[in-house]
Structures are given as C-alpha cells and as structure tokens.
Chain A
Amino acid sequence: MQERPDLIVCEECDAVHRRPALAHAEIARCLRCGAELERDTGSRLERLLPLTVASLIMFVIANSFPIVQIELQGLTSDTTLFGAVMVLNGEGMSLVAMLVLATTILFPLMQMLVLLYLLLPFAHDVHDGHRPGVKILLRLMQIVRPWGMVEVFLLGVLVALVKLSNMAAVVPGVALWAFGALTILLTVVVSFNPRYLWRILVSERRDGGEAVP
C-alpha cells in the first residue's frame, strides 16, 4: 500500500484527478460531477483559532441568559435554551428534548472544543509531535458535523417570536443577539472541512515537516 499524494479522488463521484496546485483563493472542482475537490485554505487556518474562541464565548453567553421574555397581563415568563429542553423533558417528551439538546448544545459544543484542543498548540508554536486522541477526535468531528443546527434554531426562535407577538408582549433577551453572533461565527468555523485538518495535523506532522502551512 503506497500513498499517492499527487492524486485526488472526488468524494462524490469517485473520479480520479491529478492534485492541482492551487493559487490564492482558488477552488478545484471535479470535471465530471462539479463537486469541490479542494480549496486553497490560505490564511483561514490561522483565523480558525480566534474564531473558535469567539464562538465559545458567544456559546456561553447564548446559553446563560434568557433568549426571550414574554409579558402577559402583568405576568412574565422567560426561558433559556436549556430551560426549554428541561420543560420538554418534564412533559414526557424526553426524546424530543434529547434531540434538541444534541443538535443545539451538545454537538456544536463538541465541535468547538475539539477544534480548540486541536488548534491551540499551533498558536503557541509547540511542536510536541504527539497529541493524544487526535484521530478519534477528528473522526468524531466529522461524524457530528451534519448534526449541529444552531442556525436552524435561530430561525426557529425568530418564527416563535412572531408567533408570540400576537398574544403577548415580547422582549428579546441578551441570548438572542448572542445566538445571532454565534450562528455567523459557527458558519465560518464549521465550513472548514475537517479533511484539511487531517492533512495538516496528521500527515504532514508524521513526515516531520512543518505543521503550519
């Protein structure tokens, strides 16, 4: 079994191509099916760590404060995301509660923490050569990737707000804005294909080469 770094195989149609040399911001597409083969990541990797840290901060804010408060005939009620999950759980909807918990809290948090763990040593320029669990964590990140749905949740919040505004006074909370910021940050962070991390963290390091491109 021999590695062929000069070749690239389309992930969607299995067509074999020669690996192109990409200039700045170029994207290579499969000639047969048009899927993206590779893109020039440029300085995106260096930006990934600060973006991940910012996402984590926003994540903490978004989950610590009420998303929205309603006022009805002098009575008020508010909820955090986790609070809503707990109410669902208490109503015998534990499966739905688990689904919401996983897609909006657990999986996004896992992705951010894994990225933070994998990227931190680069920032400090520590070439330790060995980080435990890199392979398992990268695999985990690839599995979890389709299931993080913060952006869908944000749209859900907006729909719920409009629905409520007909029956009560609605006061958006701090967490709503934090969710907005988190959605934008996560979109950038998650759009970074974990495949490039494999190349950067595992294959180049194995060859004893410089890990940072």
Chain B
Amino acid sequence: MSAGTHNTGVDDIGGIDGALQPVAAAAEPDSAIGTDIFPCHHCGTVWQGAQQDEQCGICHAPLHRRRIDSLNRTWAFLIAACIMYIPANLMPVMITSTLLDEQRDTIMSGIVYFWASGSWELAIVVFVASFMVPLFKLVALIILTVSARRRSSWQRLQRAKLYRVVETIGRWSMLDVFVVSLLTGLVQIEGFAKITAGIGVAAFGSVVVLTMLASLSFDPRLIWDEVVPETGQATDKEQKEKDIND
C-alpha cells in the first residue's frame, strides 16, 4: 500500500512510527505466539492468559494461534486449482452460433480475437485478468506455502507483500466468467445468433474459486514464525543449523 492511500496529506507514517513502539523489549519475542497474549482473529480483541480453543469474550469465536490446518488446506486447494487450470485453458469457454457457422472460443482465442480486431487495450486487460492473474496466483501461493512449511527466513517482508498482492488481485480473474455470462444472457436471438457458455467457463470459475480459497486458508503469520527479534545473519545461521539437525 502506498502513501497515496491516506488522505489529507498528514504525515501519518512518520507520526505514528514514533508513538508505536513494539511491546517486545530485548528479552520478549516479537510475535504473540511465544507469549500469553492471544489475539482474536475475527474481532481483533487482544486477550491475556487465554487458552487455545477458548471462546473470545467479544465475538465468541474460538481463539486460534494460527488458522487451523492452514498449510494442508492451502495445498489441497492449490492442487485442485492446478488440475482445473488445464481444462480451463483448453476447453471452449464460449460458443458463438450464427446462421452460417459455429465458433468455439477458449480463453486464449478470445484474447487473440481482441488483439486481431484492433482493440489491443481490451486484449491486455483480458490477458492480465484471465491469464496472468491465475498463473501468478498459483505460482505465488506455491512459493508462499513451500517457504512457510520450511519455516524459511528468506525474504520475509517480500513474501508478506506478495501475499497481500495475491489477496488483492485474486478476485479480478472472475472477469471472463462475467463476460461469458452476460454475453450468454444477451445474445439469444433464436435461429440468428446465439452465444452459449462452454464447459471451459465452469473449469475457469472453479480455478478462481479454488485459488481464492487457497489464499484465504493460507495464514500469513506463518511467514514470520520462528522469527528471533535479533534478526539478520544469526537467525539464518541458526535456522540452517536447526534444519541440518532435523
């Protein structure tokens, strides 16, 4: 998020950074997980001395340190999404029947059609939303899940930002599903021109839903787990030694 998202030109980051000292002093860990501080993930209330699975006093949701079974669920959704990604790109998403012929369009041929007919701006929009975004999400989530499972300390801040990007852009790949739906509803001139949704759009929709479920199951807190307040070289070294010992 850039500075442009705040209004009124108040120098808020500078102002707040001064007032916002992390609670962790030298001896205390930075994350809540090592302490008896227990934040509710639903309403944000912070509790002290709570137990795992105890109910939050405000919203009555069970308290968890991390999203339940986060990495396994993320993997399951990711694998399913990768499988569906193949029919989503190979099967026709839209079938246009006119008096003379019948045309079957896949996601890619739709983009090529836009490009060839001169509306290259739209070709880029659809290419990004329908092709780049799902692919980027799959790759990014695989990187995030693998590195979180290894409890890697590699590029933690960049990975946290990557997760934020995945969460923000994920919804936009629904674009093609909406385009096909609207065209199907609209072009129903019997015996003259008719657009039908192809099976590919169901596969494509499931990729979008599955990758969204994957990113919702992934717990970004896992990126930061086992972080030692004195960061830098020592942490990496300790981590590597620990990995070797394991």
Q: Using a CB–CB distance below 8 Å, which chain A residues touch chain B? A: 1-5, 7-9, 11-18, 20-29, 31-37, 67-68, 70, 72-73, 75, 77-79, 81, 83-88, 91, 93, 95-97, 99-100, 103-104, 135, 138-139, 142, 146-147, 149, 152-153, 155-157, 159-160, 162-164, 166-168, 195, 198-199, 202-203, 206
Contacts and interface: CB of A to CB of B under 8 A. Distances in A.
Contacts of B20: 17-18, 20, 28, 31, 37
Interface residues of B, number: 86
Interface in B2-22: 5-8, 10, 12-13, 15-17, 19-22
A12 B160 contact: yes
Nearest to B212: A146
Contacts of A2: 47-49
28 contacts: A1-B47, A3-B57, A11-B41, A13-B223, A16-B23, A17-B20, A17-B21, A20-B20, A25-B6, A25-B7, A26-B12, A26-B15, A27-B5, A27-B16, A32-B22, A33-B220, A70-B187, A84-B181, A93-B202, A103-B174, A138-B43, A156-B178, A156-B181, A160-B182, A163-B114, A199-B43, A203-B43, A203-B58
A16 B229 CA distance: 12
Q: Which 8 pairs from chain A and chain B are nearest by CB? A: A84-B185, A156-B178, A9-B39, A198-B43, A79-B185, A26-B12, A13-B224, A14-B221
Contact of A4 (B47, B172, B189, B201): B47
B128 to A, nearest CB: 11
A168 B201 CA distance: 23
Contacts of A1: 47-51, 54, 57
B122 A159 contact: yes
Contacts of B61: 139
Interface string B210-228: 0010001000110110000
Given A96-B202, A146-B216, A152-B175, A198 B186 contact: no
